[in-house]
Amino acid sequence: MDSRIIDILRYSLFAIVLLVGALFAQKHYRQYVTKKEIVAELQSITTDSSFYRQFEAEAAHATLLRGVALIDQANKLGLAPTELFDRVFQYDKMDDFGESPSTDYPVKEELARNTLTSAYESAKRLEILGDTADLADLLDGRMPISLSGTPVILPLIDPELSPGLEKIIPNLEILPADRANSERELTAIETAAARRLAKDLASAGLIENTVAEHIIEHYKTPKKEPEEK
């Protein structure tokens, strides 16, 4: 074979390898930048003013939905929720002694992790993370419309027990459409969760201890009266 043809083939192969390498590097760089943007947005969402002190309930709902969308985006990029939140709250893989960092998180951080992860899992079960249009709605703070019944966002603890709790994101849950009624009746598991949340909100300084005690008493499981023989 002509040496010139061999050189052309060699250079062509070299150029193809360079192009593939460049495309591969560009793809991973875009993913790296996107992950950093997601982390930064979640850091903004989980600040006190955004996560605990929204002015309107609708704004709190929108923030919760954006958080769900960001977790889904990160998960599709290979960043699982636990690792994502470690980056959001700036946890290193190892501490100064080479040990794994403690998972005994501060109360506010634990609330943010649990709230957003739970909302994300609910969104998956309710199938509102299915396509690009759904994700776009969530990023805009809108609940995707579903033919099987559009999910709703409801407070766990009744805001009548402490006005303003409808604007605290840890008190919000994504639920099936059939739970959308004015008088939400909690299950035994939800009742226990409401009591636990009240304690956590008080520990985080978000509600007064007396308010937490009132909420806990309200959701206290009534004792069954002994049956008459």
* SS3 assignment for 166-190: HHCHHHEEEECHHHCCCCCCCCHHH
Residue 186 has pLDDT above 90, yes or no: no
* Residue 131 predicted with pLDDT over 80: no
- Tell me what pLDDT residue 2 has: 64
pLDDT above 50: residue 13: yes
Model pLDDT, residue 130: 75
Does residue 223 surpass a pLDDT of 70? no
Q: HEC profile for 57-124?
A: HHHHHHHHHHHHHHHHHHHHCCCCHHHHHHHHCCCCCCCCCCCCCCCCCCHHHHHHHHHHHHHHHHHH
How high is the mean pLDDT of the chain?
83
Give the pLDDT of residue 96: 53
> How many residues comprise the chain?
229
Per-residue pLDDT at 99:
56
Specify the higher pLDDT residue, 38 or 26: 38
Of the two residues 100 and 219, the one the predictor is more confident about is 219
Confidence label for 187 from pLDDT (cuts 50, 70 and 90): confident
Neighbour count for residue 208 (Cβ, 10 Å): 12
pTM of the model: 0.78
Asked if pLDDT for residue 171 goes beyond 90, the answer is yes
Residues 84, 167: Cα–Cα separation, whole Å: 25
Query: Strand, helix or coil at 31?
Result: helix
What lies within 8 Å, CB to CB, of 194 at 6+ separation is 156, 157, 186, 215, 219
Q: Is the pLDDT of residue 201 over 90?
A: yes
Q: What is the pLDDT of residue 184?
A: 76
Instruction: Please state the rounded mean pLDDT for residues 52-57.
Output: 90
Q: How confident is the model at residue 67 (pLDDT cuts 50, 70, 90)?
A: very high
CA 203 – CA 187 distance, rounded (Å): 24
CB 180 within 8 A of CB 203: no
> Is 201:215 a contact under the CB 8 Å cutoff?
no
| Range 221-225 average pLDDT | 53
How far apart, in Å, are the Cα atoms of 11 and each of 16, 26, 128, 139?
A: 9, 22, 49, 46
Q: What is the pLDDT of residue 135?
A: 84
Categorize the per-residue pLDDT at 225 as very low, low, confident or very high, splitting at 50, 70 and 90.
very low
